[in-house]
Structure 1
């Protein structure tokens, strides 16, 4: 497994075009591999995420079974005249193998929190419809409901640090919420547009099941993985 980081040059039109279309960026990520990445099955898949810490610092993160070549991204959306390659790739297996029960990490996850609903006009026996969670409270609950199976627990705050009676029990925040709608050729426009809500979580977790957690980091969490959702990354907890 490999973890790759690429920085966009937001002054270039190619970067702005890719950042404006999850469909185009999905294709650009796939083009980094001579053999197209698998999308199903039991093995790890290619996951990616865009982090927008501020307008001039936008990073693309990729986790993949094979090492990527991002030359085409540098040419379209990076700094092609600089001597450095424009991206950094790190071997991930040793890091994953060292994860242990009880380890505490800061994390970031971009995901598509959804639930299934029935509308008033639906008939008995109709399939439920997938709908986005709209509020931070429901989005956080979506993640908390999946933490045990995913091999971690979000750290609980001390009681005196909780800001409200409900909804602030954990070291967890929703950093942004972006509703997305875009066309995916060759489908017909409008009716066949892809629609989902992308949410970024920041927080602190404790590993409860290293094997399940490694699977979360390499297989992703939730829906819309092809379009920049599902990738969790972790970092050492900062000392305050």
Structure 2
């Protein structure tokens, strides 16, 4: 089992760096990579650090959940950026058992590569597709396509979904490029039953799906009461 720490950070909405990062997930990723302290020579710094994050803005003040393999270097963040508390996830992961019912939450990046999957049927609300899709192209998924994507991924992650609610989430980026154009975020949450504990533990510690550098893939689990 990989070590994992989860940091819950209440952001300061008046901080200029926070205001900037809330409107640019690429910039937010760069800010959060300071927590990892990875050397410049590292070829895959985010992956080596195990850094995943989820931003939740439907609170009085924005909340940021950040997961890392090692204790985060909180002093590396700009002064006044936010108030943070870090917990070691290993004791929590050891409590997960097959057959346990849990609450789950994940902001994911449902997407498909054309040619490997059936062509998506749905587009973003109010944004009809104007260009054809080509083999090998990655495209975002919406509506029932996104739901079907999550159902497949949840099964692979050792969860049998009892219920699902889904809500599109904004993906803020100051610069539109072919690389980030498919980063369409959707929050999925509900209750589920654990069917494969090792698979679930791996999904929690390594993340699910694309867009993990931009606020997707962090799966949170809590027992139902």
The residue matched to 2:77 in structure 1 has which SS?
A: helix
Which position in structure 2 is the counterpart of 1:194? 180
Name the residue aligned to 2:6.
3
The answer to whether the Cα contact below 8 Å between 1:107 and 1:235 also exists between their aligned partners in 2 is yes
Is 1:16 aligned to residue 19 of structure 2? yes
Return the alpha-carbon distance in structure 2 between the equivalents of residues 216 and 47 of structure 1: 12
Structure 1: tracts of 5 or more residues without a match: 79-85, 156-170, 184-189
Counting matched residue pairs gives 203
Distance 1:74 1:207 in 2: 39
**Corresponding residue number in structure 1 for 2:58:** 53
SS of equivalent residue, structure 2 residue 150: helix
Contact 1:182 1:193 in 2 (8 A): no
Gaps of 5+ in 2: 120-130
Secondary structure at the residue paired with 2:62?
Answer: strand
The Cα of 1:64 is off from its aligned counterpart by 1.1
Matching of residue 96 in structure 1 with residue 93 in structure 2: yes
- Cα displacement (A) at 1:129: 1.1
Q: 1:218 aligns with which of 182, 205, 210?
A: 205
Alpha-carbon distance, 1:104 to partner: 1.0
What are the within-5 Å matches in structure 2 for residues 148-159 of structure 1?
148-155=155-162
Highest Rg: 1 or 2? 1
3-state SS, counterpart of residue 26 of structure 1: helix
* Alpha-carbon distance between aligned partners in 2 of 1:179 and 1:35, rounded to the nearest angstrom: 26
Q: 3-state SS of the aligned residue for 1:11?
A: coil
Partners of 2:10 and 2:27 in 1: CA distance: 17
Superimposed CA distance per residue, residues 24-49 of structure 1 (whole angstroms, 9 cap, x where no aligned partner): 11111110122357445xx7721111
Task: Pick closer, same or farther for the CA change 1:132–1:13 going to 2, 3 Å.
Answer: same
Does 2:222 correspond to 1:230?
no
Q: CA RMSD in A?
A: 2.4
TM-score of the two chains, using structure 2 as the length reference: 0.80
